[in-house]
Amino acid sequence: MGAIFRTADGAGFERVYLGGYTPSPPHPNIEKVSLGAEKNLPYESHAQLWRLIEKLKGEGVTIAALENKVKSKTVSIFKYQPKMPLLLIVGNERTGISPALLKRADVTLEIPMLGQKESLNVSVAFGVAAYFLASRVRLKTKLDFDLNEALKEVQEGKTSGPFNSIKQLKTALGDLD
């Protein structure tokens, strides 16, 4: 959980919601990995996350579940254009997201796996998703560049950003849409 706090803070997220048996700060395992991020980022614990989700949906929040073990239709995170505000749900390391929460999601996102393993560690998957979504919507992030702006700058020959050619940019992005 500490890695998720640290990543959420780094990607500019506004809040972390904890559910189930997830430990809450102060907790030595969280503090050890988060390096203080849990002090910078508001968080809430909810015994019944489905109630929180229903409340947030009523407030117009898009609910996105990050899960790859579902039989229903999923969308590659790399093709998804988020609608803000957005709540990103990640599940338990072993069992994923519960069916009760999945059915409440507006969209189920997946990170395509190209190797033999079926999934990433939850905190790693969260990191991939968090930074990709943040780059798409500029969620109060501290990123040095917006991917669309970077491409435009490269196309216009302005190389003030971290990339000086379309080839470099596409290589960094994995030639994503």
CATH number for 51? 3.40.1280.10
Residue 37, SS3 per DSSP: helix
| pTM score | 0.72
- State how many domains the chain has: 2
Same domain, yes or no: 12 and 99: yes
58 with 10, same domain: the answer is yes
pLDDT at 121: 87
The predicted pLDDT at position 140 comes to: 36
* Alpha carbon distance 133, 81 (integer Å): 8
Q: In the prediction, which pLDDT does 165 show?
A: 52
pLDDT-wise least confident of 28-37, 87-96, 122-131: 28-37
* Helix (H/G/I), strand (E/B), else coil: 44: strand
Give per-residue pLDDT as tens, 7-63: 888 888 888 787 876 656 565 665 655 556 666 778 787 888 899 999 999 999 999
d(Cα 96, Cα 151) in Å, to the nearest integer? Answer: 35
Query: Where do runs of H (alpha helix) occur along the chain?
Result: 2-10, 28-34, 37-40, 49-58, 99-102, 122-137, 147-155, 166-173
What is the per-residue pLDDT for 146? 55
What average pLDDT does this structure show over 58-86?
88
pLDDT digits (tens, 9 = 90+) for 105-116: 999 999 988 888
Q: What is the pLDDT of residues 127-174, one digit of tens each?
A: 999 989 988 876 333 344 455 666 677 677 765 554 455 555 555 554
Residues 20 and 81 in one domain: yes
Question: Could you list the residue range(s) of the whole structural domain that residue 89 is in?
Answer: 2-143
